[in-house]
Amino acid sequence: MHVIETQNLSKEYTAKFSKQKVNALNDFTFKVKQGEIFGLLGPNGAGKTTLIKMLLAITFPTRGDAKLFGTDVKNYKAKTKVGYLPENHKFPSYLTGEQVLSYYGQLSGMKDDSNMTKRIDEMLGMMNLTQWRKTRIKKYSKGMMQKLGLAQSMLSDPDLIFLDEPTDGVDPIGRKEIRDILHEIKSRGKTIFLNSHLLSEVEMICDRVAILNKGDLIKEGNVDDLTKAENIFAVHTVEPIGMDIKQKVMAIDPNAGIGENEINSEAGIDKINGIIDLLRAEKIRIQTINQKTSTLEELFINVIKKDNTN
Ligand SMILES: Nc1ncnc2c1ncn2[C@@H]1O[C@H](COP(=O)(O)OP(=O)(O)OP(=O)(O)O)[C@@H](O)[C@H]1O
Ligand SMILES: [Mg+2]
């Protein structure tokens, strides 16, 4: 059983007055396993929030199905083990940090007892907010508000957490803290689904991503696989590569890119090994061998550009 599963999930909005139709999501089929950190990426208006809203049954699909923990999202029981941090959340500003958690804890079905108090203490500690617990949240900074929102989403110890832009407005140290927290809860078997525009962040946090564009799923896969640039290997040497060796390398791979101390080749792993044998036989020491990677940002920009010209 998958934690999240959709089948041809589609949403068409109709504008109230002009009656113009917008395909916000088209036939979106995907699965998320337990313990995964899944990232949903896409330009503004791609359909990311629409997807989250349908998974939480806040808005309803025009077509298709969605299940959480094997239960159709139309059944409210599907949501009992789910936490949610909405984008731009607005908690009542006259409440203190601990009152916010108590209020939302009770909304998610927790009893106002010593267990809940203990859990609130734990969450405030985890977010480094303990000293601010009795302060009204209107005095909180953006980063503190975001961490309180995250504490809220995790309070009832849900098995699946939806985070819409969790590190929005958080400084680098706070973002690192949030990353560590997300990895910690993943290690406890929890599943995390997040939306973000911060691709470097997503690259560090997520196991798997999907890229949406204009309602279509255009790419999906493991972050490691997606960021491996085809098959380009770079071999760096300690000693410089002289003309004679250069020619011998070209005999193995005529398309190799050869610099003073570097050889780039796409000729496949066997030929790369052939080149390394050659270098070693010529008493040239190898410094490093790398498979070249592209960043998630490069991949994102490339696939969106390509999709938009189609
Ligand atoms: N209630 C609505 N009525 C009509 N159209 C809507 C409604 N909500 C969203 N849309 C349209 O659906 C499309 C997808 O919107 P959505 O909010 O899901 O995008 P998004 O990927 O979350 O964007 P962002 O990155 O800006 O948050 C957009 O074209 C948007 O204008
Ligand atoms: Mg959105």
Mean pLDDT of the chain: 92
Indicate the pLDDT class of residue 266, thresholds 50, 70 and 90.
confident
Q: Are residues 216 and 233 in the same domain?
A: no
CA of 43 to the centre of ligand 2 (A): 9
Residue closest via CA to ligand 1's atom 16 equals: 47
Among 169-178, 222-231, 269-278, top mean pLDDT goes to: 269-278
Identify the sign of the CA torsion 304, 49, 124, 95: positive
Residue nearest to atom 3 of ligand 1 (CA): 13
Query: Is 172 inside any structural domain?
Result: yes
Q: How many CB atoms lie within 10 A of CB 251?
A: 11
Helices marked H in the chain — which ranges? 48-55, 97-107, 114-126, 142-154, 172-187, 199-205, 223-227, 243-252, 269-281, 296-309
User: Could you read off the pLDDT of 154-212 as tens digits, one per residue?
Assistant: 999 999 999 998 888 889 998 999 999 999 999 999 999 999 888 888 988 999 999 99
Confirm whether 109 is domain-assigned: yes
Q: Tokens representing 158?
A: 């849900």
Mean pLDDT of 126-155: 94
- Who surrounds ion ligand 2 at CB < 5 A? 48-49
Q: What is the CATH number of the domain that holds 260?
A: 3.30.70
Q: Look at residue 230 in the predicted model and tell me its pLDDT.
A: 63
**Closest residue CA from atom 12 of ligand 1:** 24
Same domain, yes or no: 155 and 273: no
For residue 195, report the distance from its CA to the centre of ligand 2, in Å.
Answer: 8
Are 146 and 24 part of one and the same domain? yes
Confidence at residue 80, expressed as pLDDT on a 0 to 100 scale = 87
Ligand 1 shell residues, CB under 6 Å: 13, 15, 22, 24, 42, 44-50
Mean pLDDT to the nearest integer, 146-153: 94
Q: What is the pLDDT of residue 57?
A: 94
Give ∠ CA 289-267-233 in degrees, rounded to 5: 20
| Predicted pLDDT of residue 137 | 96
The reply to whether 308 falls in a domain is no
Both 145 and 33 in one domain: the answer is: yes
305 compared with 161, residue with greater pLDDT:
161
- State which of 225, 241, 274 marks the end of a domain: 225
pLDDT, one tens digit per residue, over 70-98 is 999 999 999 989 999 998 889 999 999 99
pLDDT for the residue 89:
87
Structure pTM?
A: 0.82
Of the listed ligands, the closest to the CA of 42 is 1
State whether 279 and 208 are in the same domain. no
- The residue whose CB lies within 8 Å of the most ligand 1 atoms, and thus the one to mutate among 9, 13, 17, is 13
> What kind and span of H or E run contains 63?
strand 63-68
**Crossing angle between the packed helical segments 97-107 and 114-126, to the nearest 10 degrees:** 120
Domain boundary among 197, 225, 253: 225
Burial class (CB in 10 A: 0-12, 13-18, 19+), 57: middle
| Residue of 48, 60, 163 best suited for mutating to test ligand 1, as the one with most atoms within 8 Å of CB | 48
Find the mean pLDDT for residues 31-39.
Answer: 96
Q: Is 227 a residue whose pLDDT tops 70?
A: yes
Which domain does 101 fall in, by range? 4-225
Residues 177 and 38 in one domain: yes
287 and 210 fall within a common domain: no
Taking Cα atoms as reference points, which of 148, 158, 196, 23 lies closest to residue 79? 158
Count Cα atoms within 13 angstroms, Cβ side, for 28. Answer: 37
CATH number at residue 142: 3.40.50.300
Best residue among 18, 41, 50 to mutate for probing ligand 1's pocket (most ligand atoms within 8 Å of CB) is: 50
Q: Is 74 found in the same domain as 13?
A: yes
Residues 86 and 234 in one domain: no
Q: Give residue 299's pLDDT.
A: 83
- Note the pLDDT of residue 229: 64
Contact of 8 with 29, CB cutoff 8 Å:
yes
273 and 195 assigned to the same domain = no
pLDDT, mean of residues 101-118: 93
**Count of structural domains within the chain:** 2
First-to-last CA distance in the chain? 36
Predicted local confidence at residue 198, as pLDDT: 84
* Percent of the chain scoring above 90 in pLDDT: 74
Closest ligand relative to 211 C-alpha: 1
